[in-house]
Structure 1
Amino acid sequence: MTESQARELAAAVLAGIAPEADLASVRPDEDLRAALDLDSMDFMNFVVGLSERTGLPIPEADVPSLYTPRGLVGYLTAR
């Protein structure tokens, strides 16, 4: 998966959870949860959505890697 594909996927999954959230407005190292006002359930639904759309298991230990756009894209492109 390319960086562009990872961003598009994340934006699509996020749109189903928080339609008003704009992933493009979040700085690369900014915490997505705070920047987009996602509560813990919203973020976990986001992680589950990413896992379902990619077919990749995302272990709980890896979830902190997804907190920032840079970490999220890096995680998805490495797999």
Structure 2
Amino acid sequence: MTEDQVKQIVIDIIDEIAPDEDTTGLKPEVNLRDQMDLDSMDFLDIVMELRKQHGIEVPEEDYPKLASLDSCAEYLTPKFNAK
């Protein structure tokens, strides 16, 4: 799986949990919470959906690695490819 595919998975999850948010113009290098109105519960929902939909576990100490689309892709791509 490529980093772009992982970014799209994260965007799809955001679209599911926050349907009112516009994800079309997201800047991959900018913190997601700075670009959208995501609170800590939304962020936890993203982590839970990664586990539920894709079997990807993200330990709490790694949550900061999911700050931007770029950092999500960097952190999650190896996890997807190890499955």
Structure 1 stretch 65-74 or stretch 18-27: which is displaced more?
18-27
Partner-residue secondary structure (3-state), 1:78: helix
Q: What count of residue pairs does the alignment treat as equivalent?
A: 79
Aligned mates of 1:24, 1:73 — CA distance in 2: 17
Aligned mates of 1:24, 1:70 — CA distance in 2: 15
**Residue 21 of structure 2 aligns with which residue?**
21
Aligned mates of 1:46, 1:52 — CA distance in 2: 10
Structure 1 stretch 54-63 or stretch 27-36: which is displaced more?
27-36
Partner-residue secondary structure (3-state), 1:41: helix
Identity of aligned residues (%): 37
Bigger-Rg structure (1/2): 2
TM (normalized to structure 2)? 0.82
| Structure 2 gaps, min length 5 | none
| Structure 1 gaps, min length 5 | none
